[in-house]
Structure 1
């Protein structure tokens, strides 16, 4: 079987050799579409296991990642700092530090759990954004508490909170090497918005998983800030499964965090022990989904561009002047 023409170094398309032999070759990849960016220290993709809601779920993820040989750069939690005790946070910090994995916890009050009625209307209102000064203050409280306990990455769902926490790290209120991650629920959908989030202090930005390949190329023409994308999205984010595109997503979107979510499962935020069995089972399955995606990458010739394990910083990014 003969492969269809492709640019040297580009991953092959799914089914490419067989379809070429049948006279149905894939179009050659346009080199101009490829992202010119990479993570500092090398590598074009990292991995993330989301929705790891406490020490017990974390232990499941770490055990399963060892069993299935799934490399992990970041583990994130979605319920929030306020849903964890100090002892639980410290346990998670220590467990991830032993494996040189970045731990990311969500900050503060969100509109979806607030008293405002607009988020329950068809329009969705302001969504997860922090409503009022007190909500921003709660996010800052969470950020200070989490970083004092050793957390180095914070997840945010509000532009004002993002800018406030960026200013806080510039001022030394939280550690300067704290990374700030933008939630998928406010993720930018165009290059102009992506560039604004970067300048507000974002170190990685979770874009919605329904963005097209062309959308990723457009973003990469204006920003080198790391991008997060669910390769399989939860149902409340669309339930998209894009495993067969993973090599091309990296080619277009690098530097890219591959997030291994899970569709067809109930929501677990905010987590409590009443959701224990579901949370542990889905944590385990997310790692397995990661193994499936990495196997596809290997088959398509794109696995060799993974960033070194233990790397976490985003590199030099563009920021608004905090002195203004």
Structure 2
């Protein structure tokens, strides 16, 4: 796979066979294609989510080598505070050896807090940090993770995102730290997507059920990299969109293809009591990635992948920091 785009438009699934029997196939509209790219020129990268510790990471790296699945980033959902210092260091070292970006979730989240609103039908404030202490806990997680060598932080709160971005700009966090907006608070329209970019997000999960048209609308408002589950876990809808992968890239570039897993019980917060399930699902997520890559190849759409080891998003737009802060 190369960073150069495919020389011809991707083949539409079933187009040739349908044309032979006179069934009309809607042409792709060139105006729908995203004009944006990663700074390395690529249109897409890969991510394996729910990699909850060193053991799950080892399974992902072993299976990705066996199945020849390129991995740009792995992400963890339980949180920095659910890992020991030794576990974080082990994950940092293993990812560095394979030039894979490691992304860890920051701090307390409202869905696990003592507040009752998140357990109501409305969901309350969801995963956002409740009060100053929760915000400070996310800051503490960010400082601890980056001190151990982690350079990508997963965030589920707008205030935490803005705070960590200001810390990065002020040199409190390393300048090459990237901030990833969680699928738990994913923006669903062009205006909100652009706001997250301005608050400091370097890549943004969007809801897994956004239409292709929605992605085109977002790309008219922002060039910040987009994270999208091509298969979503059940608590995010359980959608399986493998057949749309080529079109998701065409409309959503620059885009991270996330290899999630439906019909699988949740594993957050992870512990040893969930070990066998977690390792089995980690292995299957990589296999799902192989299936997506095979589909892209069959459709002539496997060109344009960023080189392995690429991680930075390029220049993005930010709100100015308040005076005196």
Match of 1:49 in 2: 48
Q: Describe the SS at the equivalent of 1:228.
A: strand
Match of 1:317 in 2: 316
Tell me, yes or no, if structure 1 residue 296 matches structure 2 residue 260. no
Match of 2:9 in 1: 10
Could you tell me how far 1:84 is from its partner in structure 2? Answer: 0.2
Could you tell me how far 1:26 is from its partner in structure 2? Answer: 1.6
Q: Describe the SS at the equivalent of 1:303.
A: coil
Q: Describe the SS at the equivalent of 1:308.
A: coil
Q: Deviations over 1:50-75 (max 9, x none)?
A: 00000000000000000000000000
Alpha-carbon separation, structure 2, partners of 1:193 and 1:115: 28
Alpha-carbon separation, structure 2, partners of 1:20 and 1:149: 57
Alpha-carbon separation, structure 2, partners of 1:272 and 1:161: 26
Q: Describe the SS at the equivalent of 1:165.
A: helix
Match of 1:91 in 2: 90
Alignment of 1:201-216 (within 5 A): 201-216=200-215
Alpha-carbon separation, structure 1, partners of 2:33 and 2:111: 37
Alpha-carbon separation, structure 1, partners of 2:228 and 2:8: 22
Could you tell me how far 1:9 is from its partner in structure 2? Answer: 3.0
Determine if contact 1:42/1:308 at 8 Å carries over to the other structure.
Answer: no
Alpha-carbon separation, structure 1, partners of 2:228 and 2:10: 19
Match of 1:147 in 2: 146
Q: Deviations over 1:229-273 (max 9, x none)?
A: 000000000000000000000000000000000000000000000
Match of 2:283 in 1: 284
Q: Describe the SS at the equivalent of 2:293.
A: helix
Alpha-carbon separation, structure 1, partners of 2:9 and 2:224: 22
Tell me, yes or no, if structure 1 residue 229 matches structure 2 residue 234. no
Size of the alignment, in residue pairs? 318
Could you tell me how far 1:323 is from its partner in structure 2? Answer: 3.7
Could you tell me how far 1:25 is from its partner in structure 2? Answer: 3.3
Alignment of 1:166-315 (within 5 A): 166-315=165-314
Q: Which segments of 5 or more consecutive residues in structure 2 lack a partner in the other structure?
A: 1-5
Match of 1:70 in 2: 69
Could you tell me how far 1:10 is from its partner in structure 2? Answer: 2.1
Structure 1 length as normaliser, TM-score?
0.97
Match of 2:78 in 1: 79
Q: Describe the SS at the equivalent of 1:185.
A: helix
Alpha-carbon separation, structure 2, partners of 1:9 and 1:207: 28
Alpha-carbon separation, structure 2, partners of 1:20 and 1:133: 61
4+ residue segments displaced more than 3 Å: none
Greater relative contact order (CA < 8 Å, ≥ 6 in sequence): 2
Q: Describe the SS at the equivalent of 1:75.
A: strand
Q: Describe the SS at the equivalent of 1:61.
A: helix
Alpha-carbon separation, structure 2, partners of 1:235 and 1:95: 29
Match of 1:112 in 2: 111
Match of 1:3 in 2: none
Match of 1:29 in 2: 28
Alpha-carbon separation, structure 2, partners of 1:77 and 1:134: 22
Structure 2 length as normaliser, TM-score?
0.97
Alpha-carbon separation, structure 2, partners of 1:69 and 1:306: 14
Could you tell me how far 1:41 is from its partner in structure 2? Answer: 1.1
Alpha-carbon separation, structure 2, partners of 1:25 and 1:146: 54
